Amino acid sequence: MKLFRVTISAVFIAFGSASAYGQSVCLPLPRLLTTMPMGGRVGTQVEIAVTSEFTDDSSEIHFSHSGLTAIPRIDGTGLQETDTFLVTIAADVPPGLYEARMMTRLGISSSRIFSVGVLTEVVRKNPNLSPATAMPLELSSVCNATTTPLAVDFYTFEARKGQRIVCQCAAGGIDSKLKPVLILADSAGRELFVERRGGMLDFVAPSDGTYSLKLHDLLFQGGPAYFYRLVLEDLLPEVVAQKHPSTLAVNAFSWPPMNLPADSAIKEIEPNTLHSQAQKISLPCDLAGNFFPAADVDTFEFTAMQGDVWWVEVASERLGVPTDPSILVQKITGEGDTEQRSDVAEFSDIPSPLKPSSNGYSYDGPPYEAGSADILGKLEIKETGTYRLQLRDLFGGTRSDPRNIYRLIIRKASPDFAVVAWSLHMELRNGDRSALSKPIALRGGSTVAIEVVAIRRDGFDGEIQLVLDGLPEGVIASGLTIPKNMSRGIMLVTAKENAPRSLHNASFTGRATLDGVTFSRPCRLASMAWPVRDASQEIPSPRLLVDVPVSVSGVELAPLSLAASKSDIVECTAGEKLTIPLTLTRRGEFSGTIMQLKTLGNGFEQSPGFDVPLTSDTCQAVIDLEKMKTSPGDYTIAFYGTAVSKYQYNPTFVSATEKERLKAQDEATTRAVEAKDLIEKASAASAQTKEIAQKAAESAAAREKLASAALAKAVQRAKKASEQAQPSDIADIIVSQPIVIRVLPALIAPEKKP
């Protein structure tokens, strides 16, 4: 039996072991949890400290921009540190957000946002939990810090009378769990402004003096995961304050439509709340506006002809603002006192392509929401005439915020689609409460399933092929098509057993054909910002990623591989019962003897599940094509199920860390003896040699101190390696390699002649 190795970071214990949450799910995957600071200035070098899990011995950080590079810091003993890096930000890196990841023995880690800006960057070093210990800030600077539980962070800054000051706290948009409350006070401590929704404080100083900022979490939580970037700027009155860049919610994948100009052609013109104030527009139109002031209703009037079909789309929530747009379209007859209005259509939310989980984890659906509170609907004109469209924010009754913007598009049909993907999650009724980040970090012999969903635009109903290109050596990808009129497909990514350690940025696309023309659309990946092991206790926070990294461990093998016994196409005849021989390759032990498999792909999901023995090397799957009414053609499918493996965290690492401990122990003992000897010699030295002897003794004492520190680290590493190597039961998804089925037409018997 082969042993498969796993590494685990020292900070995993600090963030909590999965076993503490009941059933452990998902084999270990590397995850980058925090960096401090969370960003840096263009053209500088910054030292960052990281915390992570399952990343022992990692010495690489990769960024989504080549102008960002990192090397490990060297400690006092000349060894590379695994949790501190020097990051160089090239002068040509555009300001913005980038993904930072660690490359580990298990492959690429989950990502953490790293911000690049043009302001001076500082890191809070000392506690600032009272007015007396408030940290002074310079204008045009960014302070990186974390909140303390049940406490408030205090800052001060100097401002002149009439000077415009803009302050904002970046948190959720850079992956933090913090929900910031920011309070501005004058020199006497009187509160001037409060911001509780993550927005900006934009004010003009009423007098010269020292002003203070107080910052805390909405629920007064704190710790390493509650980090923030406090931005303080002085701006001229005419300058538009720029919000700190933010990550995108998963549902933003469906915006914008292809070939949409960056700016709208026309703007909303106020007042346009009343019917008598309706802003006249002509179709098609592309219009930008905002839900302001509170309870704002924007009314637009247009003429349309009988038989016209228009598609109406509104983006607002997908632009990153907390809104819920709603549209009412009415036909207008008569004028003045005789005017009559009849409802024609109402539009509200874009439904999710799949029923999402009702509680944020994978109990009854995927833990991701691809639908949106925005609008995408069809408007059919039954009669020629005048129509009015009223657009409002259902959440805007009491909110008066000009930043709640929208974009309204009314167009002729332009059939299209958008796709988004995430790693498949388990649906264990009695155990899986997890909503985990799952980087595409492949073990040799493993196949992972990536769930892909589509938003179809303007009536497009065609088949969507899924393609993943630019893969590492030894990795293949097979897309299980999103069928016509359906919303879900699967991408299977398989690493051969002997695939070498590697990392590539892949290209993920969906392809379709319309009117004989083939076109592609990018597929965005979504991931959990944090690994949530019990989503009944914490609300998951998924977001879109900016790239698609695919990696191979090259060290650890999958505990179980499942594949068709024959690698070529499996042929059968329509209406038959199809038997597919399967081969199981086991590399470990399992709890239980049976695994139930289900089928993925091309409508074969309706095939009933079946049991396979975990104690056998072979089994077979039987699919009744007659019951499924499968038409002739080629289909790619896969089987998947859940198995509980008896797993050990890198057992071979125990002996390696024990050797390090013994070596460090010998070095510490040698240095202690040396230091003692030189101290005694310095004490007995003559006046002429005493100074030289004392310097030698001090140097020896310093070496002893370093050796003792190295021994303490080695002891801790050996202890944790031993603890982590204890076997534990972990449930994980087992996915077969893709299987191609060719269904041939049934032979039709010739009619008998009379």
| pTM score of the predicted model | 0.88
Gyration radius from the chain CA atoms: 31
Nearby residues of 658 by Cβ (< 8 Å), 6 or more positions away = 718, 721
Tokens describing residue 689: 């040699």
The pLDDT of residue 16 is 34
| Beta strand extents in 275-355 (DSSP E only) | 279-280, 285-290, 297-304, 309-315, 325-333, 340-347
Q: Which residue has the tokens 């050996």?
A: 718
- Among the listed residues 95, 100, 93, 136, the one whose alpha carbon sits nearest the alpha carbon of residue 119: 95
> How many residues are there in the chain?
754
79 vs 11, 506, 648, 656, CA distance in Å? 19, 33, 28, 16
Question: How far is CA 595 from each of CA 117, 492, 503, rounded to the nearest angstrom?
Answer: 51, 20, 32
The reported pLDDT for the residue numbered 320 is 93
Is residue 53 within 8 Å of 27, Cβ to Cβ? Answer: no
Tell me the mean pLDDT per 10 residues along the chain, length 754.
Answer: 30 32 76 97 97 85 97 77 92 98 95 98 96 97 97 97 97 97 93 90 95 97 97 94 95 95 94 96 97 96 97 97 96 92 97 79 75 97 97 91 94 97 75 81 97 96 97 96 94 97 97 95 96 82 96 94 89 92 93 92 90 93 91 93 87 80 89 88 85 88 87 84 82 94 78 56
Q: Pick from 165, 115, 158: which is nearest to 134 by CA?
A: 158
User: What's the Cα-to-Cα distance from 102 to each of 40, 49, 51, 278, rounded to whole Å?
Assistant: 18, 13, 11, 55
The C-alpha atoms of residue 321 and residue 326 are separated, in whole angstroms, by: 15
Task: Please tell me the predicted confidence (pLDDT) of residue 155.
Answer: 98
pLDDT for position 432: 60
In this structure, are residues 323 and 296 in contact, taking their beta carbons and an 8 Å threshold? no
CA-nearest of 194, 193, 190 to 180 is: 194
pLDDT digits (tens, 9 = 90+) for 453-490: 999 999 999 999 999 999 999 999 999 999 999 999 99
d(CA 584, CA 641): 13
Residue showing tokens 């008598």: 276
CA distance from start to end of the chain: 68
Q: Is the dihedral of CA 587, 589, 590, 592 positive or negative?
A: positive
Task: For residue 141, give the nearest of 112, 165, 105, 160 by alpha carbon.
Answer: 165
In whole angstroms, what is the distance from residue 273 CA to residue 390 CA? Answer: 8
Per-residue pLDDT, 197: 85
Q: What is the pLDDT of residue 8?
A: 27
Neighbours of 695 (CB within 10 A): 12
> Could you read off the pLDDT of 14-61 as tens digits, one per residue?
333 333 334 588 899 999 999 999 999 999 999 999 999 988 777 899
